[in-house]
Structure 1
């Protein structure tokens, strides 16, 4: 077969004016960023699978454009193999088209800041414009603005989650700065949720940030969890972890769990509220909290400063996957990370058929702050 002709955007514009059909083979999320004037927006896979839908005449002249010129060339080769004879690919693609100031059609109705800020998401077929809109409409509760909550909230904010609800009753201490990256030396003594708001708003001013300078208790946990689509657990004590788990079961919310200790960390997703009998809750993993001497907090045992960053980043990843409906979540799996060995390992988790909270048919026992019920030993973050 003869080689595909490659032409400049200016040449494509001239040929388009003489009646040649210009087809933009980028993905819908990329089309949202704008298109060459008069171009037909057809994703490459759709065009290659059924070209006759858009170009029934195989002898008609077709001009193909993508982002940089690579995909359009591949699409042209695929069409050539199907009998199309007059094909040309635009060198440099839409990037060069725009750089040369050629006329464009508007893409999505979202504002320029939205389209530019999230352009790398829009280019992902698995996310695209619909996925980004879903993120913009989402609400995530992040409990704890410390070691785990800092990186998790930072990446959720950057990704475009519409509302972050931050719950933490602590203030910034100098010892926090080694790992709690939302805070700065200048904000020592401020409430962590206020310090977090400053950092997150500076990163993404589109965010709606709701701060809750409170400790999670049996009295307020349901109200905190209820509006959220996903809950990220960055808590620093076992009573709060049990309360969050119980509320997420009762209100059918997915809970993204994370914990760190010295050089090791854990991540999982507890989704028993939406998947009774098939996915575990936190109580299925820890029916009873460990003794205080078996779970010293960071102040007592220490923690490698970057470790919460790794675990918090994984929590943010799981939260985004849940919001977008992508991939396989960690529900039913506990991911362990050993920083010293730089190894991950996975443990399968099954729901406990005798779980007092999430077992199918179990009547919800209510929320409790009783240290005998959920202990007062510190969890780690």
Structure 2
């Protein structure tokens, strides 16, 4: 069933003669401006209880959305519900604005305006929306390392509105870092990385809680760092810390988003064995023993293409957001490898090791070990 369509000029004239104009967009969409004379009632709320928002069933009702589709759909639903005089504004608010007709700004608090404007593109995604964005703002993520991986990952997590970021690192900014660690600037050289990162992230998104923890992460403080955390992002650059973080995340049942880079290649995975024993592998299932140091040089020894940590860090940030929102297919049980020179991605399936020393089903957590000694051997 089709409903009549009016041009924005015609709709404005009808409003002047008593017609009721309803903007059926969501509140965050109306925040950018509404047609003068319109009342904001989201489509779902309008159709759930039309009598609460509309005049008598024979009163003149005009509906407007962004482009005209949702208002037409809502109009057909109202006709089915018994309303006999319903029209839709052709082209919606976009056409109204294009014709330079009067617009009004709905009343909002400063916090509401910031939320609606800052996260407007997230709010348009059905998989995120207001509920998902609110979830992100209430989430807590530990970013271990403010270097090559932690820098781009934390930058995008802050931009996405992850409400609490705890960043742990004991290093200071060096000029050689700036080729890839984009959260730092030349003025930050000599400053603790966590403080430099905190200042830059708050400059990007002042409403966040960014906790700068300037410590060397060890078995003695890892439990405190994981307290209250929803997801951990591993931006470390050495094997002892990776094994420690893996074991701690299993013990605390927290998903671990892993990343690593070397020269022109990188890899990403999600280890969630703490919550999915016997189903999801852990880092030890992939690397039961660390490779000899000669086969695992760090960036200071082997070098790294400056953009590569950005690629891997962004993939890690994506996996963190997916974990927080429970959407998509996470990289659990999959290792994604990236070759920058060939511009190729390769996926390898990972299976849990039934004899894993840490995550095997029924195996009790034996406590932390001397990870430096373990990796040296």
TM-score, normalisation: structure 1? 0.86
**What residue is the counterpart of 1:89 in the other structure?**
89
SS of alignment partner, residue 88 of structure 1 = strand
Asked if structure 1 preserves the Cα contact closer than 8 Å seen for 2:253 and 2:275, the reply is yes
Counterpart contact for 1:32–1:108, Cα < 8 Å: no
Between 77-86 and 343-352, report the one with greater CA deviation. 77-86
Q: Cα distance 1:85–1:17, how it changes in 2: closer, same or farther (>3 A)?
A: closer
Describe the SS at the equivalent of 1:111: helix
- 2:251 matched residue in structure 1: 250
User: Structure 1's 291 and 115: CA in aligned 2 closer, same or farther, altered over 3 A?
Assistant: same
Aligned to 2:14: 15
- Give the Cα separation in 2 of the matches to 1:22 and 1:311: 49
Within-5 A mapping of 1:219-368: 219-368=220-369
What's the secondary structure of 2:248's corresponding residue? helix
Partner SS for 2:232: strand
- Quote the residue 1:211 is aligned against: 212
Other-structure match for 2:149 = 148
| Secondary structure of the corresponding residue to residue 175 of structure 1 | helix
Whether contact under 8 Å (1:245, 1:255) holds in the other structure is yes
Aligned alpha-carbon RMSD (Å):
3.3
Give the whole-Å Cα distance in 1 for the aligned partners of 2:182 and 2:144: 16
Question: What is the Cα deviation at residue 17 of structure 1?
Answer: 6.2
Tell me which residue corresponds to 1:133. 134
Q: Equivalent residue for 1:75?
A: 73
Instruction: Return the offset for 1:14.
Output: 4.8
Structure 1 stretches of 5 or more lacking a match?
Answer: none
Kept in 2, the 8 Å contact 1:268–1:331? The answer is yes
Q: What is the CA–CA distance in structure 1 between the aligned matches of 2:40 and 2:190, rounded to whole Å?
A: 56
How many Å apart are 1:216 and its aligned residue?
A: 1.1
Q: How much has 1:30 moved relative to structure 2?
A: 3.2
- The answer as to whether partners of 1:147 and 1:179 remain within 8 angstroms in 2 is yes
Tell me if 1:66 matches 2:65. yes
Gaps of 5+ in 2: none
Deviations 1:99-127 (A, max 9, x none): 75545655799431222111111121211
In the TM superposition, residue 22 of structure 1 has moved relative to its aligned partner by: 4.0
Q: Number of aligned pairs?
A: 372
C-alpha distance after superposition, 1:9-28 (max 9, x if no partner) = x6435535656454544356
1:143 and 1:258 map into 2 onto residues whose CA distance is 11
1:197 aligns with 2:195: no
1:5 aligned onto 2:5: yes
Deviations 1:126-175 (A, max 9, x none): 11111111111111100010000000000000011111100001111111
TM-score by length of 2: 0.86
